A and B are shown apart, each in its own frame.
Chain A
Amino acid sequence: MTQAQAKDVKTSRMTVGKVLIKYRTIVILVVLMTIFSFLKPIFLNPINLLAIIKNMSYVLIAGLAMTFIITLGGLDLSVGSIAAVVGVGFALLVKGGLLPPVLALLIVVVGAMLLGSFNGLVIVKGKIEPFLVTLATLYIFRGIALMMTSGKPVPIVIPHFANIFGNGKLFNLIPTPVIISLLVFAVSWFLFNRTKFGFYVRSIGGNQEAARVAGIDISKVKLAAYTMSGLFASISGLIIAALFNGGLPDVGSDLALDSISGVILGGTAISGGAGSIFGTLGGCLIIAMLNNGMSLMGAQYHVQIFVKGMVIILAVLMDNAFKSRR
């Protein structure tokens, strides 16, 4: 009988654990906020909080596209390189009034979509693993960015650009990158949950064969997703360029891995099929809070990435515990 009672206690504790694990993204967020605000009360200062989401913005945007890609069962390692090409390309196109800024903007955004669709085409037509293809284009696109400027940064001197994409503030309060990333977030959520495209992405990632037999054009959906990844990477690239006020060929090297981390922390399965746009928002927030909080505490970059890695392992372990208990 005592054994049975012990078992009952164990079962009920497990259910609490289960709830904690199910909402683990929120749990980790709350824990981090509590720790940081306890150690550094300035952490909760609205200005600091706004800084956190501003610094998160371009990772979130890349991460939102990455959520589609990973749910689809794919991967895109090349987004950071695409962002660099966009920044450098824009800087060169507007240098000395060569092209009107709006036209230059259009050209780099379309160019980034072409780079993304190149990834998609090689993956679909060449039937090559997305990891291999985008690993290769990670180098190729970075090479393009470096070749365009011989490796040197190009300043952007046109008015308003930095204001619109980087350091401007709406109502003198909310940083513009935050506004942009929230717009992209809303569009992504809608696409993912309310349109055919999102539904196809989830079905293909869940069971490609079933999707094929159901008549879904798998190649088209994959191509669209990688093109979308290029598009979102270009928005990230423009924000980064605006924050630096110039096109830097070596920026964004952490963008792919940070956005993948955000997606995984948000509970999207790396094996595909199950993804969450809100999860990605939470996951990217975790990374941004970690970076910010530890900086406030005076931790060096070395320590920051160490802790970041530990948090990812912890989150994935929690995922597995959740799965095995179901």
Chain B
Amino acid sequence: MSFGENILELRHVSKTFPGVVALKNVDMMVRSGEVHALLGENGAGKSTLIKILSGYHQPDSGGELLIDGKPVTFKNPKEAIEASIITIYQELTLCPHMTVAENIVLDKQDQFKGILLRKQEFREIAVRALKDLNQSDIDPDWIVKDLSIAQQQVVEIAKAVTSKAKVVLMDEPTSSISQKDAEKLMDIIRGLRASGVAVVYISHRLHEIGCIADRITVLRDGALVGTVNCTDVTDKELITMMVGREQTTVYPKREVPIGDVVLKVENLASGELLKGISFEVRKGEILGIGGLVGSRRTEMLETLFGMREITTGKIFLNGEEFLPQNPRNAIKHRIAFVTEDRKKSGLVLCLPVHENINLVNAQRPSFMGYLNWPKLKAIANNQRKALNIRVSSIEQIVGFLSGGNQQKVALAKWLDFSPELIIFDEPTRGIDIGAKTEIYTIMGELAARGAAIIMVSSELPELISVADKILVMQEGRMRGILSKEEMTQERVMSLATQKALE
């Protein structure tokens, strides 16, 4: 493949925040018509780099940003957009109550003359953009909030394409969409590349980068490790570049004796959402739950945790029938739930680390509701050490921590009451490989201490290497349970897409 000119160049770019050096003297070149992956653990400086490119931050003096060989400075995000650098953030920035077409033309109002809205023109632009992306099944008149995350992402990309983007920055675009949608996205990215657009792509999924990227720039601790051609490196070498150490297995396996049945679910149903779910999970066992996005795995977990009504079916906890009414009730029965969306339901972002860790502990009975903060802080400190949560102090506000550390805090709040059943929903989403490994180790330790574990994961390699057995769901129905010997990526996928194939 031949590449175009250097369209975007960074020279000696550093960025210092009070007390933290986020980027140290980074050089990087992006050519037109290439997919350039940006790789690194959380806290490696990828986000800072993206924010500099998109005009949110300004580099420290001495650093330079060049577009088509000419130095530029972006004082704000608008100037970056005017320079045809378009960013697609992890948290999408669409107006939920407006139509697809309105969202696509929102940033282009300067093009239209007069004060009246030209709905017909809006539609035409949107139809053309979606057609160019091969996404004509999205109707420009649909309201954005009714779309799936993957479809919303397509709208964001359509918005970028119609802005005549030269560089498209994508911050973990596949972190919240299913594998099938991710493949669609890859096709769209290849289309962008063919039309001469440079795509800068951040992802934690190595295999994804392997099949899409032309070149890869690796950052570690804010410094450049190197830029390599994708064809010249193996996954293992990339991991070594990222973490700075040789890593034999990404997902450590564990051997733990399997004990008595902790949770037994019989023919569980919740309205029309879930039907016919039956399984059991034992002490020391990790039950993986696979399926595509929309297979209602999260809804199933929420039903176990008392957040959704059970219409039929039975749940037995340690042999006794148990009807979870609400999270409070589930917690009383020593069930813990590490939710999928840390920011939405796992953490109180504006509170410090120790208060987040004690969100559950603080509910223990005490005289007149008095909280013994020194004691609670000691508990938090123990958890911090046990889980290796990297903070300068437990007084730090959780919102400012990296994804991996946030996830550990979200998990830590459950551990002091020794839960018998721990439910993990996408426990390693959006966290770096080092932190992932630590989460697997912690899960292994919890299992070794006799906890039963249920884990939903969309990453098949993770599911297969961590789980003792895998339950596959599709559209709220159970499609099968695979034992350790039976599980392969292909079998899980074929069960998960069964109906679609029929």
Contact = CB atoms under 8 A, between A and B. Distances in A.
Interface of B: 61-62, 305, 307, 327-328, 330-332, 337, 339, 344-351, 355, 358-360, 362-363, 366, 368-371, 373, 413
A216 interface: yes
8 residue pairs, one from A and one from B, having the closest CB atoms: A206-B348, A209-B345, A215-B331, A214-B359, A215-B328, A195-B369, A207-B348, A196-B369
Interface in A181-240: 194-197, 199-200, 202-203, 206-207, 209-217
Given A196-B366, A213-B339, A273 B350 contact: yes
Contact of B327 (A4, A196, A199, A212): A212
A310 B413 CA distance: 43
Contact of B359 (A4, A195, A216, A217): A216
Nearest to A271: B350
A213 B351 contact: no
Nearest to B344: A209
Q: How large is the interface on A (under 10, 10 to 19, 20 to 34, 35 or more residues)?
A: 20 to 34
Contacts of A260: none
A203 B351 contact: yes
21 contacts: A4-B62, A7-B61, A194-B370, A194-B373, A195-B369, A196-B363, A197-B369, A202-B351, A206-B351, A207-B344, A207-B348, A207-B349, A210-B359, A211-B348, A213-B305, A214-B331, A214-B359, A214-B413, A215-B363, A273-B351, A274-B350
Nearest to B359: A214
A202 B368 CA distance: 18
A320 interface: no
A172 interface: no
Nearest to A195: B369
A150 interface: no
A225 to B, nearest CB: 13
Contacts of A202: 348, 351, 355
A210 B346 contact: yes
Contacts of A199: 355, 358, 362, 371
A274 B355 CA distance: 13
Contact of B362 (A7, A196, A209, A213): A196
Contacts of B344: 207, 209-210
A3 to B, nearest CB: 7
Contacts of B373: 194
Nearest to B16: A11
B345 A213 contact: yes
Contact of B371 (A195, A213, A214): A195
Contact of A215 (B327, B339, B346, B366): B327
A210 B348 contact: yes
Contacts of A195: 368-371
Given A203-B359, A274-B350, A214 B369 contact: no
A210 B371 contact: no
A206, A214, A273: which has the most chain B beta carbons within 10 Å? Answer: A214
A79 to B, nearest CB: 24
A207 B410 CA distance: 13
Given A209-B345, A210-B346, A203 B369 contact: no
Given A206-B348, A273-B350, A214 B61 contact: no
Contact of A216 (B346, B363, B370): B363
B328 A4 contact: no
Contacts of A210: 344-348, 359
A195 B305 CA distance: 27
Contacts of B413: 214
Contacts of B345: 207, 209-210, 212-213
B355, B370, B371: which has the most chain A beta carbons within 10 Å? Answer: B371
Nearest to A7: B61
